Chain A
Amino acid sequence: MAETLLAILLVTTSANGSNLVFRWPEFPMAPPRLSRARPDESLSLSRLDNPWRTSHSQEEIEKAEVLPPYDYARDQDYCWQRPNALRDRSLSFTNHPIPSRSSPSRDRSYSFEKATTPDEYDHVLGYSAEFLATLLCPQRSMCHQKFELIVDDLAFIGHPVCADPDGGWRFKPEKVKAASRTRDEPNLDNSASPHPHAEGPSSKNQESSSQEPSSASKSKWLHTFHLALVLDLPDPSSSASGNLTKYFNTLYEQIAFTLTAVLYQEQVLSNFVENECDTLIALKDSCASKGEPFSKYTSQAFAVSSIAPAMKTIFEAIKSSSMAYVNINYLPLELQLPPYLDTLLHSQDDQETDFVDPSDDDSTLTWGEHMNLGWKLPAMAPWKTLLLLDIDNEMDPHMALRGPHESADDRTLAEGLIRFLETASVTLSLSEMANLLGWDLESQVYPIVRWLVLHRRAKVVDVVHPGLKTAFTLPPKFGATLSELSAQFHETFTHPAIPSLPEILATISTSMSKQTDSHFFASVVKAKEFIPMYHDVVLWMLKRDMLITLHLRIRVVATRELKLRVKAQREYKTLAKSAGGQYDRQKYQRSSDYGEIMSPNSSGRNPSFFLSPRSAHNFAHRFSSKESRRSEISELNFDTDAPAMLRVEEETESISNSEPEVDEEDSSWDNMEQPSMINDPGKATPMQRRWLSAMSEGKELAIARRFELINQYFDGKKSDDEILYRADISRKQLREVLHHYEEYLQTFLHPS
C-alpha cells in the first residue's frame, strides 16, 4: 500500500482550457503539517524556559505549574501523524475554499461536513480545480515523459500524454517500444491478464504498433490527458536519503505509467478517453447546474464510465494493500504495489536487516526487476517450497479458471495450473513438485510460482518435514499483538489436544536449547496421530510469519594439528626428493625468527619474500591490537585503529595481486601455528586442498569420497536443504559426513 496516496486525478486539456474531469476520493484532504517542535509530554512548558525559571522564585514557579498546561503532545491537530488507510477512507468532508496563499493544509479547522456548495466541484486540495488541471497539463514538450511536481507538501506524479499537433492520436514509435518492453513477460506483468498468454493489452498493443500509421484516431477536442497521483510528501526525516525517489518511481512505474499506457492505447485505437471524458464532463456540468452534491455526480459517474470506477478501485486497492482488478474499455487490468513499499519511508529497523542480503542478487534474477524493491521475497530455489495462502472465493483461481474458455490452449493451461495447485504442498520442494508433475522446473514451475506470489496467493517458504521434524524458532516481532493472535488461534483450533498459542510459542522457545530433539515434532506434537492436526497449526503460523525455519550451515576449519601434519608430510617428501638443499633449510628453520612464515621452497628466492606481505600485515596488526587494548576510554575505538589497518590490508592486496602464486604459498605456510577457516572450499588454494585431503586420512573410503564431493558446499552460506539438493544425497548421508569430520567442521544454525 502507499500510505501517502491522497488522490487520483484525471485532467484533460482542450482548446477551451483545462478540466479536472474526475477525482477520487471525492474530497481528498492533506493531513496538517506543522514545523513546530514536539514538546515532551512529561515536561510542562514552563520547565523548558530556563531563564524564566531562574528569574522567578520557587513559589511562583509552582504556582505557574498549577495552571492547567496545554497538552500539546496529545493534541490531535498539533502532531503530524502517519496517514493510514482507515483515516483516509473515512474522509468525507470538504475543504473550505482557501483564497489566501497559505498552504492548502493550514486551514483544516474550517472544514465542514457534507456541505453542498458548488465549491465541491471547483475546489480540490485547497486549489481551484481548473488551476490544478492547468498545473498538471504541461507543455507539449514535457508530455510523454515522467511528470513530477512537488508543491509544499503535495507531490503530483504521472505521465501526461498529448495528441500530435494535427489533433491525431497515434502511437509514438519509441513509446510503444518502451511500453511493450515491460509487457513482454507474460504472467509476470501487472497488466497481463490472469490467464497466461490470454488476449490482453500486450498482444493488442503489439499488433497495433505493427500497423502503426493506419491506427490513429482523430479526436474532436482532446489535446492532453493526464492521470496524476497526488501524494502527501512524506516527512523527509523519517527515512534514509534517496528512498523517496525510489518510492515515487515505484508508484510511477506500477500505477501511473501502466494505467496511462492502457488509456493511451485505447485512445489511439478507439478515441476512448475522449468519449469517456465527454460523458463525464457532461454529467458533471449537469449535476453542478442542478446543484446536486458532488457525491451524486461520482455515483452516477460509476454507472456510465469505466475510467471513474477504475480510479476508485485502484485507490482503494492501494490503500488496502491489495490487488486492483479493473476493466478499462473491457480490457481486464491488474495493478498493485509491492507489499512492503511503505517501509522505504520508515526509519530502518534493525531487525529488518535480516531480510536484506547484500551479497545476494539472486532475488532480482529469479523474481525479475520489478519484484525486487519492496517485496522482501526470499530467493526462489529448487529446494524451497510454496505455501498457498487463504484466498477469497471470489478470486479463487479454481473458480476463475473453470469458467468458459475460448481456446483449447487456455483450457490446457488452466488445467495445468489446477494440477499444480493440487500437487503443491509445503512438504514438497519445488524440484520434487516438478518431478511429480513431469514439468520443467525453470520454464514451467517457476513462472507459475512467480504468478502466484505476484498475485499474493502464495509465498515461498522452506520445506517442512512431513513428520514435522523441522527446527523452528520465533521471529523477533509478530504482525499483530499476541492477544489478537491467540484469540484467532483459539477460534481456529478447538481440539483439546492442542494447547493455547502462548503455550506452543513457549515450547518452541525452549526447544532450541535442547541438545537433541529440538524439532517441532519432539517438542510440541509428541504423538504421531496428531501430525495432520499440527500440520494445520504449522501452516497457520507460517502464513502469519510466526515461525522461522532454522538452517544448518557448515564451515571447514583447518586445525593446527592438521596443518602441522601436512607440513611434516610435505617436508618429509621434499627431504626425500632432494638431498641437496636439506641442510640449508633446516638451518633456516631453526635460526630464523619467522621460521613459521617461511615457505620451504622459498629459500632460493628473493629474500624479501621471507616476510610475506600477509605475515607482515599480521605482525603489524598484532602490534596495533595491543595498542587498542590499552585505550580504555572508548568502547570500540574503531576510528583510530581502522584506517591504519585498512591501509595495510590494501597494500597486502595490491602486492598479493601482483604475485599471486608466491603469496598463496607463503600465506598458507605462515600461520601454521594457528588454525584457520577455509572460507570457500570450492575455490581452495593448493595448500587448502592439501589440508582438505589430509582431513580424509584414515576415514572410511565411501565417506571420504562423499566428503570430497560435498565439501565445496561447506562455505557457511549454503543451507542444509541446498546442500542436499545440489549434492543429491540424503540427510542421513550428510549427517554421517558431519559426524566423521566433526573435528574439522563447524555448524551454524540460523535463519536464511
Chain B
Amino acid sequence: MPEGDSFLPRIQSVFYAVFDVRQGPKIVYQVPEDLIAVSPIAQRTLFNFNDISMYVIPPPALCGRLVTCSTKRHRIIGFPVELKGKYTRNYYRYNLCFVFDREADLSRYEPIVRKVSRVLKACEEESAFLSSPQTSPAVHAILEQLYEDLNSYSETSIAIDQFNSIELKIFPFYPNPSPVKDWMVPLALINLSKRIEDNWDLTMLKVCKYIDGVNHVSRIAYLAGCDISLTRQAISHLLYYQVIMMIDIFQFSNMYTLRKSIQWLAEEAHVEEECGPYVTKQGKRIPDWPKLLHLYSRLKPGKTVHEWMKYYDVESLGIDARRFTSFGVVKGFLRRVHRYPLYLIPDPPDSTTIPPGLEAMLDGEHPTDELSVRFEAGWPVLEQWLHSIGGSEGPGNYGRVVMIYK
C-alpha cells in the first residue's frame, strides 16, 4: 500500500462566507487572516475570492450538496446551505469552506465538511446562531479552532451553545480490501494478541486466536465456532487495516514460482537478513543467503514442495518449508502456482465416492485450494477423485481431467 494513505493534507485556510443582502457573496471571517483576496489588488494571497464566489455561494440548485472547486493551485471544499425563513430576502445562504493544495486528496475531509455544515445548520435553525449579530462573531473562534485543531491533532471538540457542539475526528482512509475467500490463510503482520481488547467484537476476539499463518478461513470459522460469513467479515476487517495479509494454504503438494521482483528483492538487506532466521527451525544453524536464494530459484511450476525438499535435501538444512515459502510470498518475490483442473469429456463416472458437484466445478476456473476447502479433502484425496473422474492413466496423469498451472 502506498505510504501516502496515512498522510493527511494540510488545511491551508478555513473561511466562512454568506450571501450579503447588499454586497452579494462575501467572506465574513477567514483563518488565517487575509489569505484569500477579496479585492483585486491584494498581494501574497492564495487566490481571489471573486473567481470562485459562484461556487461558494451558489444558486439554490447547488445548495445542500458537497461542492469542490479548484483554482490554479488550490482546492476549495464546502457545503453551501440555503435556509428559508424570516430573513430579509426570505432566505439565508452561507458556506463554511476549507482550502487545500490543488493535489490534496480530500476524501477524508468530506465527512468533516458535511458534519460542520450540518451542526451549523442546526444551530441556525434553533437559535439563529449565524444570522443574529449577537452570536455570529463566535464563528470566527470556531474557524480558528477548526484550523488549529484539525491541522495539529486531526480531531477537535468545539462547544457552540448549550445543546450543540462540533465533534470531529479525521479517520485514516484505506481502500477496500479484496474479497476474502474461504481457502485463504490470514497471516498476522503485527502481534495481534497484544492489541486485543475486551470490548472488541465477539467474533473478532474468537477469530483472532486462530490466525497463525496455517489455518484457512473456513477452518478458523470451524475452530472458533463462528459463523463462516461473520468470520469472513472479521478477517476482511483486519485486512482493511492492513494488520494481516492473505496467503495460501500450505500443503507439501503446493507449487511455487519466482516473480519478477526477485530481481531487486534478492539484494535488499531486509530480505537477506530476515530470511535465514525466519525460515530456519529452532536450534538449527542458519544457512547462508546464497544457499537460500538457490533453493528459492529451484521452486518451479510443476514441482511440488515435497519433490523440491527431497531433491535438494531441504530437511537436513533445518529449513521449515512452510515458513520458507510463506516468507517468499509475504515479501512478494514468490507466488503460488494454483492447479485448475478441467474435465474434458463429461461422462458419468463409475465411482460413487466422488462428492456430487465436484465434476461441475472442473471447468478450469476453480483452483484446487477452493475444491479442497469446498469438499473438505486434502490434495491426496482430491487427487484420487480426479484420477477416478478422468480415468487415470498412471501417476501424474488424470486422463480426461487436464491440469492447468497458473
Known pairs A241-B107, A476-B335, A509-B406; A152 contacts B273 (CB<8 A): no
Contact with B along A347-369 (1 / 0, CB 8 A): 11101011001110000000000
Of B176, B277, B294, the contact of A237 (CB 8 Å cutoff): B176
B260 and A131: CB pair below 8 A? Answer: no
Tell me the bound Cα distance from A637 to B187 in angstroms: 11
- Which bucket holds chain B's interface residue count? 35 or more
A103 and B70: CB pair below 8 A? Answer: no
A639 and B404: CB pair below 8 A? Answer: no
* B229 proximal to A (CB < 8 A): yes
Tell me the bound Cα distance from A752 to B262 in angstroms: 10
Contact with A along B365-391 (1 / 0, CB 8 A): 100000000000000000000000000
Contact with B along A284-327 (1 / 0, CB 8 A): 00000000000000000000000000000000000000000000
Stretch of B15-23, B25-33, B154-162, B282-290 lying at the A interface:
B282-290
Of B52, B302, B364, the contact of A502 (CB 8 Å cutoff): B364
Given contacts A505-B404, A557-B294, A746-B293, 15 further A-B contacts (CB under 8 A): A101-B63, A135-B55, A135-B58, A241-B107, A502-B364, A502-B402, A505-B406, A509-B406, A621-B273, A625-B276, A629-B280, A634-B192, A677-B266, A746-B297, A750-B258
**Which B residues touch A149, using CB under 8 A?**
55, 67-70
Q: How far is the CB of B400 from chain A (nearest CB, A)?
A: 10
Q: Which residues 118-168 of A sit at the B interface, judged by CB distance below 8 A?
A: 127-128, 131, 134-135, 138-139, 141-142, 145-152
Q: Which residues 672-722 of A sit at the B interface, judged by CB distance below 8 A?
A: 674-677, 679, 716-717
What are 25 A-to-B residue pairs whose CB atoms are below 8 Å? A42-B229, A101-B65, A135-B62, A138-B51, A151-B62, A237-B173, A240-B175, A241-B107, A348-B175, A474-B404, A477-B406, A505-B406, A510-B396, A511-B302, A512-B257, A512-B301, A513-B301, A626-B277, A628-B277, A629-B282, A635-B326, A638-B274, A677-B267, A677-B293, A748-B262
**Which B residues touch A482, using CB under 8 A?**
340, 342, 363-365, 404
Q: Which residues 496-543 of A sit at the B interface, judged by CB distance below 8 A?
A: 500, 502-503, 505-506, 509-514
Q: Which chain B residue lies CB-closest to A548? A: B406
Q: Which 8 A-B pairs have the closest CB atoms?
A: A513-B302, A625-B277, A506-B402, A509-B405, A474-B406, A236-B107, A482-B364, A150-B68
Of B189, B267, B403, the contact of A506 (CB 8 Å cutoff): B403
Known pairs A149-B70, A649-B269; A502 contacts B259 (CB<8 A): no
B61 and A238: CB pair below 8 A? Answer: no
* A23 proximal to B (CB < 8 A): no
* A747 proximal to B (CB < 8 A): yes
* B332 proximal to A (CB < 8 A): yes
Residues of A within 8 A of B (CB): 40, 42-43, 101-103, 127-128, 131, 134-135, 138-139, 141-142, 145-152, 236-242, 244-245, 347-349, 351, 353-354, 357-359, 473-478, 481-483, 500, 502-503, 505-506, 509-514, 553, 555, 557, 559, 621, 625-626, 628-629, 631, 633-642, 645, 649, 674-677, 679, 716-717, 746-752
Q: How far is the CB of B237 from chain A (nearest CB, A)?
A: 13
Q: Which chain A residue lies CB-closest to B343? A: A502
A354 and B178: CB pair below 8 A? Answer: no
**Which A residues touch B280, using CB under 8 A?**
629
Of B266, B267, B290, the contact of A675 (CB 8 Å cutoff): B290
B405 and A639: CB pair below 8 A? Answer: no
Of B2, B61, B110, B403, the contact of A241 (CB 8 Å cutoff): B2
Tell me the bound Cα distance from A443 to B173 in angstroms: 46
Q: Taking each of B71, B260, B286, which has the highest tally of chain A beta carbons within 10 Å of its own beta carbon?
A: B260
Q: Taking each of B4, B70, B263, B274, which has the highest tally of chain A beta carbons within 10 Å of its own beta carbon?
A: B263
Contact with A along B152-187 (1 / 0, CB 8 A): 000000000000000000000111111000000001
Q: Which chain A residue lies CB-closest to B68? A: A150
**Which A residues touch B282, using CB under 8 A?**
629
Q: How far is the CB of B129 from chain A (nearest CB, A)?
A: 22
**Which A residues touch B62, using CB under 8 A?**
135, 151
**Which A residues touch B191, using CB under 8 A?**
631, 633-634, 637, 639-640
A354 and B260: CB pair below 8 A? Answer: yes
Q: How far is the CB of B331 from chain A (nearest CB, A)?
A: 10
**Which A residues touch B261, using CB under 8 A?**
353-354
Tell me the bound Cα distance from A717 to B277 in angstroms: 26
A152 and B65: CB pair below 8 A? Answer: yes
Q: Taking each of A135, A240, A628, A636, which has the highest tally of chain B beta carbons within 10 Å of its own beta carbon?
A: A636
**Which B residues touch A500, using CB under 8 A?**
344
**Which A residues touch B277, using CB under 8 A?**
625-626, 628-629
Q: Which chain A residue lies CB-closest to B103? A: A245
Count of A-B contacts judged by CB separation below 8 Å: 252
Q: How far is the CB of A388 from chain B (nearest CB, A)?
A: 26
Tell me the bound Cα distance from A239 to B105 in angstroms: 12
Q: Which residues 202-234 of B sit at the A interface, judged by CB distance below 8 A?
A: 212-213, 229, 233
**Which A residues touch B212, using CB under 8 A?**
635
Q: Which chain B residue lies CB-closest to A486? A: B364
Q: Taking each of A145, A500, A746, A747, which has the highest tally of chain B beta carbons within 10 Å of its own beta carbon?
A: A746
Known pairs A131-B61, A500-B344, A746-B294; A679 contacts B267 (CB<8 A): yes
Q: How far is the CB of B269 from chain A (nearest CB, A)?
A: 6
**Which B residues touch A559, using CB under 8 A?**
290
* B349 proximal to A (CB < 8 A): no
Of A359, A512, A639, the contact of B264 (CB 8 Å cutoff): A359
Tell me the bound Cα distance from A643 to B354 in angstroms: 52
**Which B residues touch A641, using CB under 8 A?**
274
B270 and A642: CB pair below 8 A? Answer: yes
Q: Which chain A residue lies CB-closest to B173? A: A241
Tell me the bound Cα distance from A640 to B71 in angstroms: 45
Q: How far is the CB of A42 from chain B (nearest CB, A)?
A: 5
B259 and A750: CB pair below 8 A? Answer: yes
Known pairs A135-B62, A150-B67; A510 contacts B229 (CB<8 A): no
Q: Which chain B residue lies CB-closest to A505? A: B404
B190 and A553: CB pair below 8 A? Answer: no
Tell me the bound Cα distance from A689 to B5 in angstroms: 44
B176 and A509: CB pair below 8 A? Answer: no
A636 and B330: CB pair below 8 A? Answer: yes
Q: Which residues 38-67 of B sit at the A interface, judged by CB distance below 8 A?
A: 48, 50-52, 54-55, 58-67
**Which B residues touch A138, using CB under 8 A?**
51, 54
B190 and A240: CB pair below 8 A? Answer: no
B403 and A752: CB pair below 8 A? Answer: no
B259 and A354: CB pair below 8 A? Answer: yes
* B300 proximal to A (CB < 8 A): yes
Of B176, B213, B263, the contact of A716 (CB 8 Å cutoff): B263
B363 and A512: CB pair below 8 A? Answer: no
Q: Which chain A residue lies CB-closest to B304? A: A513
Q: Which chain A residue lies CB-closest to B63? A: A101
Tell me the bound Cα distance from A261 to B406 in angstroms: 47
Q: How far is the CB of A672 from chain B (nearest CB, A)?
A: 12
* B193 proximal to A (CB < 8 A): yes
Tell me the bound Cα distance from A690 to B335 in angstroms: 36
**Which A residues touch B233, using CB under 8 A?**
40
**Which A residues touch B402, using CB under 8 A?**
502-503, 505-506
A748 and B175: CB pair below 8 A? Answer: no
Known pairs A354-B261, A676-B290; A513 contacts B107 (CB<8 A): no
A244 and B105: CB pair below 8 A? Answer: yes
Q: How far is the CB of B193 from chain A (nearest CB, A)?
A: 6
A748 and B258: CB pair below 8 A? Answer: yes
Known pairs A149-B55, A621-B273, A625-B277; A716 contacts B267 (CB<8 A): yes
**Which A residues touch B267, using CB under 8 A?**
677, 679, 716
Q: Which chain B residue lies CB-closest to A748? A: B297
Q: Which chain B residue lies CB-closest to A680? A: B267
* B278 proximal to A (CB < 8 A): yes
Tell me the bound Cα distance from A717 to B66 in angstroms: 49
* B291 proximal to A (CB < 8 A): yes
**Which A residues touch B270, using CB under 8 A?**
642, 645
Tell me the bound Cα distance from A717 to B265 in angstroms: 11
Q: How far is the CB of A516 from chain B (nearest CB, A)?
A: 13
**Which B residues touch A631, using CB under 8 A?**
191
